[in-house]
Amino acid sequence: MHHLSEQEIIRRDNLTKLKDAGVEAYPSESFDVNAFCKDVKDQFKDGDTTFQSVSMAGRLMSRRIMGKASFAELQDSSGRIQIYISRDDICPEDDKTLYNDVFKKWLDLGDFIGIKGFAFYTQMGECTIHVTELKVLSKSLRPLPVVKVDDTGKVHDAFTDPEMRYRQRYVDLIVNPEVRETFKQRTAMYTSMRNYLNERGYLEVETPILQPLYGGAAARPFTTHHNTLDMKLYLRIANELYLKRLIVGGFDGVYEFSKDFRNEGMSRFHNPEFTQIELYVAYKDYQWMMNLVEEMVEKVAIDLHGTSKVKVGENIIDFKRPWKRYTMYEAIEHFTGVDISQMNEDQLRDTARKMHVHVDNTMGKGKLIDEIFGEKCEDQLIQPTFITDYPVEMSPLAKRHPSKPGLVERFEAICNKKEIANAFSELNDPIDQRKRFEEQLDLGKRGDSEAMVLDEDFLRALEYGMPPTAGLGIGMDRLAMIMTNQNSIQEVLFFPQMKAEKE
């Protein structure tokens, strides 16, 4: 147990005093709420007959005691409101304990209380609840970080240290209400996308997180062990191969909001667990899917902000369709002046080095092109842009381009310098797919720790026949960062992964 601070000792002492006076600090019965701070403040007009019998609950956030009456502040999930408490209103004739001792002495800031009363405006013009009943609902044994504002308006002791905020998100949410808004918007983004896909008749499904073989992306997995089956299992890095099995099984369109796990570095853009939506639609191709992505993401922006324009950092990003499009080779030529489309592996390695792009000998053709693109092009792409027609070596699960040898039907959507979506016309030729998996095995032998493994059951599924299919993955955390104007992934995850806390 941690060493108690002076404040914590006082609070525990107050808890004992409440108990000794017969006041239950953690009562079991429910407290019915019929009004919220924000609604009262937004809707109550002086002289109205509304809000004359409110029942509200929340945390006590400040208190100004003036003898027999006091002003305090109540905070609920919607915001804060001033409350007015008079001793003679809340106490029976003979016993003044509830005001003189419970409210004035033994309650602490952060404690939960329930109040009943009516709304009015003070002479200062502040919307206030006149309290007629008060009940203790839960005692807080640790003090909240107190934000002090001095005479010059400067804020002191605000709870702003990111490490503390992410580790103790529950405190962050109490004292930094704008953080709650970010997460409400994140949920609204999911709702918007679900509605869009459900209206088109696509089925939301769930597929395994524990997989005997990991696949569907290039990444290092987390490994675990199942005792009863005595077998190694992996946390999924993607759900692609399972969703394609469902297309083989006869569904026309399936999607899943998939929590995926990749055992790699952490950064402002990477958390070891993250969420993607993956969508597969039969009889469609990547060109069709590009139009869907533009339409769906434009809708998300409008649903969240009322406009297709979203402020992100210094920029205004406009999701209005149509988005700009480049092939991958066009993008590299556009931003570097070099046409790499005819180069072999050695020429690519030399070109990358001349451009001061870090490469090494384990990298095959696909990885080299990816590094050049990542270093020289991605940072130039602020407005949403589609990059299409990738080299086959970079895309082991995508269909070959019918008229461009060596390329596949694939696109990525890049926005605010980062990939937010990846999609292909899915490879449905089982013989070509086996060959590509075997090439991945070779890359693994060369030292590429992210190369894919061969999945015999997935190949068996393809051998039963998969219709032409368009597939899509969108990184939900990255999209949330853009849609809520946050510059790190940790700001859009309630509980980002942290290094172990020091004792």
- Residue 55 inside a domain? The answer is yes
Residue 158's pLDDT is: 75
Please, which residues have CB within 8 angstroms of residue 408's CB and are 6 or more apart in sequence? Answer: 389, 390, 391, 392, 394, 395, 398, 399, 400, 401, 424, 425, 427
| Predicted local distance difference test score (pLDDT) of residue 216 | 86
Determine the pLDDT at residue 153: 67
**Do both 280 and 234 map to the same domain?**
yes
Together in a domain, 286 and 140:
no
Looking at the fold, whether 132 and 252 belong to one and the same domain comes out as no
- Of 251-260, 410-419, 438-447, 470-479, least confident by mean pLDDT is 438-447
Same structural domain for residues 293 and 184? yes
Q: In this predicted structure, what is the pLDDT of residue 34?
A: 98
List strands edge to edge, sheet with 231-235.
210-211, 231-235, 223-226
The reported pTM is 0.91
Return d(Cα 383, Cα 417) in angstroms, integer: 8
Instruction: Check whether residue 202 and residue 314 sit in a common domain.
Output: yes
- Alpha carbon distances (Å) from 461 to 133, 217, 249, 399: 67, 18, 9, 17
Judge whether 263 lies within some domain: yes
Residue span of the structural domain in which 130 resides: 6-144
257 in the same domain as 110: no
pLDDT at 150: 67
Are 416 and 270 in a shared domain? yes
Residue 425, in any domain of the structure: yes
The domain tally of the chain equals: 2
Which pLDDT belongs to residue 156? 59
- Kindly state whether residues 113 and 225 are assigned to the same domain: no
Distances from the Cα of 259 to the Cαs of 2, 276, 277, 317, in angstroms?
Answer: 34, 7, 9, 27
193 plus 138 within the same structural domain: no
**Are 194 and 78 part of one and the same domain?**
no
Q: Do 317 and 429 belong together in one domain? A: yes
- pLDDT confidence of residue 154: 67
Write the CATH number for 74. Answer: 2.40.50.140
Task: Specify if 418 maps to a domain.
Answer: yes
Say yes or no: 183 and 137 in one domain.
Answer: no
Model confidence over 71-130: pLDDT tens digits?
999 999 999 999 999 999 999 888 999 999 999 999 999 999 999 999 999 999 999 999
In a domain, 173, yes or no: no
Q: Which of 313, 316, 376 is nearest to 340 (CA)?
A: 376
In a domain, 172, yes or no: no
Instruction: Note whether residue 471 is domain-resident.
Output: yes
> Has residue 342 been placed in a domain?
no
Average model confidence (pLDDT) across the chain: 94
The pLDDT assigned to 85 comes to: 98
Q: What is the CATH number of the domain that holds 463?
A: 3.30.930.10
E strands present in 147-211: 148-149, 155-156, 203-204, 210-211
